[in-house]
Amino acid sequence: MKPTQTPNRPASTMRLILGISLALATPFIALAENLNWTTQEQHFQADFDDTEIIANYAFTNTSQETVEIIETSATCGCTVPTLEKQSYAPGESGELKAVFTVGSRQGKQRKAITVATKDSAGAETTYELKLDIDIPVPVTFKPRVRFWKVSGEATTQEIEVTFHEQMPMSLAKLANKDPDEPTNFDYQIETLADGLKYKIKLTPKKPDKKSRTTYYLVSEQDEKNILRRYPIYAYVR
């Protein structure tokens, strides 16, 4: 029996095998985090009249190097992160403040805030902070927008308005967003359930003319003008 001979391998193959062997033999070294956060995720239940939510994220520099926060950013322009300063010595604590603007947003909101740091030794680390907000919806529409075709019939279309049971309101009238601009629509309000459910009936005055109107709901109970965040729209186009 002839002895088995090992075939010659190309030099490139040998270098690849050697590289893999060295990589497997080298222990994995995790990148040390230089900021220790009290929490990196916060949850808020907003109230009906909240215009903004403020979340504070406390941290401490637990490394042996001075840490500089070189950048902060959020996934949405509605969330603005700020800091009192950018540089933190070893053992020093600080706080990032994130201001979320409610605006016309509603329902569950999930935002991410990225914090990029660099220490005096040149090591860079990135953190991600989470902000969850549940915004109650004081009023819903079915639908919110109504359209008519130009030169079509002056048909009446309806919008059903439902107020949240924890925030009932009596719907008194509609207000034109631009009071100086005459509206091309007539409207009627029908009560389906006092304080809770109404039906708005819209009819164009001149269906042969392009027009659009943005309406706000008006209620005596809406002392903080919350309903102005939730307009309805009528178009002839």
pLDDT in tens, 175-189: 999 998 889 999 999
CA-to-CA separations, 40 to 44, 69, 111, 132, 231, in angstroms, rounded:
14, 16, 12, 11, 36
pLDDT of residue 151: 85
Tokens coding 58? 């406390």
* Confidence category of residue 139, pLDDT binned at 50, 70, 90: very high
Indicate whether 32 pLDDT > 80: no
Cα 189 versus chain centre, distance? 33
pTM attached to this predicted model: 0.64
**Residue pointed to by tokens 């215009």:** 51
pLDDT of residue 45: 96
Which residue, 147, 156, 155, is CA-closest to 213?
A: 147
Of 25-29, 71-75, 146-150, 171-175, least confident by mean pLDDT is: 25-29
Angstrom distance (rounded) from CA 160 to CA 197: 7
pLDDT tens for each residue of 34-92: 999 999 999 999 998 899 999 999 999 999 999 999 999 999 999 999 999 999 999 99
pLDDT of residue 2: 35
Indicate whether 6 pLDDT > 60: no
Long-range contacts of 103-107 (CB under 8 A, 24+ apart): 103/78, 103/229, 104/229, 104/230, 105/78, 105/135, 106/135, 106/136, 106/137, 107/134, 107/135, 107/137
pLDDT tens for each residue of 186-202: 999 999 999 999 999 99
Which residue, 232, 226, 14, is CA-closest to 106?
A: 226
Mean pLDDT of the chain: 88
DSSP 28-58: P-PPPPSEEES-SEEEEE--TT-SEEEEEEE
Beta strands across the sheet bearing 185-193: 139-142, 157-163, 197-204, 185-193
- Identify the bridge partners of residue 108 per DSSP, sorted by sequence position: 134
